[in-house]
């Protein structure tokens, strides 16, 4: 890692922008991991780093709506879209942590393989937000260029403090060395042990929070639906043993979303007969599907 030259006082993002720019100029990609506990400022820091870079490089706001990804699939789709320009940055939120650890490591390894094989010539960067660096497997950790650790938020100044470590890899031994960046300030060599980043612009935060809310809502619904399917499967298994054949037929038709009147007409029996079956189903405790529950609880 070379020494960054700074001619004046430190401005927010100035050193990082120069480091990013130097890597892109040398036809290299950028892989940064930002780690820390929930609420430690990882997401806003990654947004702010990207925001400052985009104003520096492109003179425009960071497109967080399209460049903040909450799943491996979304990230891979963007990487392979052919729409990315040289110097662009993508943020991969810690949504992957919702997967099992081994499954997450397997999928993230695919991302790194893609980055190595197809991504370098594009000169695009990816920032990974993770609770801990060990969420990445050993191979992936060897490929990270920088690891930023959130160490606290100064609420009075509205800044997040991070410990910036830059990776040096001994290619022969495969050993990693994590070092502070050194800068040349008017002839004095200084090691930077902390970076301070402020809150992203209001417009950027609003777009990010809206997308995050949408993702979390969809994730909650997906999880709820999955639980419903599991419960429904178990209910059906138990019903085979405990319900008479005719009540079982009614149970399955309710599960398919049919109402009592439709079931009575299809089976050629009275509505009273169907409701008697429903009472038995309710007595046995077989209630799972939402539509089914509407009629069983009446």
User: Left, alpha or beta for 222 (phi > 0: left; psi -120 to 50: alpha)?
Assistant: alpha
Q: Is residue 50 in a domain?
A: yes
Cβ count near 93 (within 10 Å): 23
pLDDT of residue 145: 92
Distances (CA, A) of 172 to 36, 169, 175, 176: 31, 9, 8, 11
The domain boundary, picked from 184, 200, 216, lies at 200
The predicted model gives 176-187 an average pLDDT of: 84
- Please indicate, yes or no, whether residues 124 and 270 belong to a single structural domain of this protein: no
Span 104-153, pLDDT tens digits: 666 666 666 666 556 666 789 999 998 888 877 777 788 889 999 998 88
**Higher-pLDDT residue of 71, 23:** 23
Q: Is residue 243 in a domain?
A: yes
> For 42-46, 130-134, 177-181, 219-223, which range has the lowest pLDDT when averaged over its residues?
219-223
- Please indicate, yes or no, whether residues 112 and 149 belong to a single structural domain of this protein: yes
- Please indicate, yes or no, whether residues 134 and 236 belong to a single structural domain of this protein: no
- Please indicate, yes or no, whether residues 183 and 233 belong to a single structural domain of this protein: no
The predicted model gives 216-225 an average pLDDT of: 63
Q: Is residue 221 in a domain?
A: no
Q: How many domains does the chain have?
A: 2
pLDDT of residue 99: 45
pLDDT of residue 241: 53
Q: Is residue 237 in a domain?
A: yes
- Please indicate, yes or no, whether residues 263 and 158 belong to a single structural domain of this protein: no
Tokens of 256: 């398919």
Nearest to 156 by CA among 193, 196, 205, 202: 196
Q: Is residue 149 in a domain?
A: yes
**Higher-pLDDT residue of 285, 205:** 205
3-class DSSP state of 85: coil
Contact 211, 256 (CB under 8 A): no
pLDDT of residue 236: 57
The predicted model gives 270-298 an average pLDDT of: 67
Q: Is residue 208 in a domain?
A: no
- Is a pLDDT exceeding 90 seen at residue 158? no
pLDDT of residue 43: 92
- Please indicate, yes or no, whether residues 145 and 234 belong to a single structural domain of this protein: no
Q: Is residue 166 in a domain?
A: yes
Q: pTM to 2 decimals?
A: 0.70
- Please indicate, yes or no, whether residues 76 and 195 belong to a single structural domain of this protein: yes
Cβ count near 252 (within 10 Å): 15
- Is a pLDDT exceeding 60 seen at residue 294? no
The predicted model gives 217-233 an average pLDDT of: 60
**Higher-pLDDT residue of 118, 255:** 255
Q: Is residue 214 in a domain?
A: no
- Cα separation of 242 and 67, whole Å? 53
pLDDT of residue 89: 95
- Is a pLDDT exceeding 60 seen at residue 239? no
- Is a pLDDT exceeding 50 seen at residue 290? no
Of the chain, the percentage scoring pLDDT greater than 70 comes to: 74
- Please indicate, yes or no, whether residues 196 and 250 belong to a single structural domain of this protein: no
Span 44-56, pLDDT tens digits: 999 999 999 999 9
Domain region containing 188? 4-200
pLDDT of residue 51: 96
- Please indicate, yes or no, whether residues 177 and 251 belong to a single structural domain of this protein: no
pLDDT of residue 102: 54
pLDDT of residue 111: 66
- Please indicate, yes or no, whether residues 193 and 103 belong to a single structural domain of this protein: yes
pLDDT of residue 171: 76
pLDDT of residue 87: 93
- Please indicate, yes or no, whether residues 182 and 236 belong to a single structural domain of this protein: no
In this structure, is the dihedral angle defined by the CA atoms of residues 261, 267, 273 and 274, taken in order, positive or negative? negative
- Please indicate, yes or no, whether residues 159 and 56 belong to a single structural domain of this protein: yes
CATH number of the domain bearing residue 192: 3.40.50.300
CA of residue 229 relative to chain centroid, distance: 25
- Is a pLDDT exceeding 50 seen at residue 95? no
């Amino acid at each position: 890692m070379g020494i960054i030259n700074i001619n004046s006082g430190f401005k927010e993002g100035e050193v990082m922008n120069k480091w990013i720019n130097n890597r892109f100029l040398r036809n290299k990609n950028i892989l940064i991991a930002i780690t820390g506990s929930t609420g430690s400022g990882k997401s806003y820091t990654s947004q702010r780093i990207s925001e400052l870079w985009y104003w520096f490089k492109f003179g425009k706001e960071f497109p967080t709506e399209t460049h903040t990804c909450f799943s491996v699939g979304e990230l891979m789709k963007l990487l392979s879209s052919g729409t990315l320009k040289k110097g662009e940055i993508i943020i991969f939120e810690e949504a992957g942590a919702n997967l099992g650890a081994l499954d997450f490591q397997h999928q993230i390894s695919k991302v790194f393989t893609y980055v190595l094989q197809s991504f370098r010539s594009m000169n695009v960067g990816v920032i990974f937000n993770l609770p801990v660096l060990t969420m990445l497997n050993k191979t992936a950790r060897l490929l990270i260029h920088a690891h930023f650790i959130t160490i606290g938020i100064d609420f009075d100044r509205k800044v997040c403090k991070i410990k910036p470590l830059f990776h040096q890899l001994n290619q022969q031994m495969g050993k990693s060395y994590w070092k502070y960046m050194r800068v040349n300030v008017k002839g004095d060599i200084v090691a930077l042990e902390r970076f301070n980043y402020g809150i992203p612009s209001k417009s950027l935060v609003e777009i990010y929070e809206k997308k995050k809310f949408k993702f979390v809502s969809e994730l909650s619904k997906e999880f709820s639906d999955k639980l419903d399917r599991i419960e429904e499967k178990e209910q059906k298994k138990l019903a085979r043993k405990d319900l008479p054949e005719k009540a079982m037929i009614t149970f399955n038709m309710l599960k398919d979303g049919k109402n009592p009147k439709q079931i009575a007409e299809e089976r050629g029996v009275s509505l009273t007969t169907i409701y008697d079956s429903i009472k038995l189903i309710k007595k046995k405790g077989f209630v799972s599907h939402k539509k089914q529950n509407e009629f069983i609880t009446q």
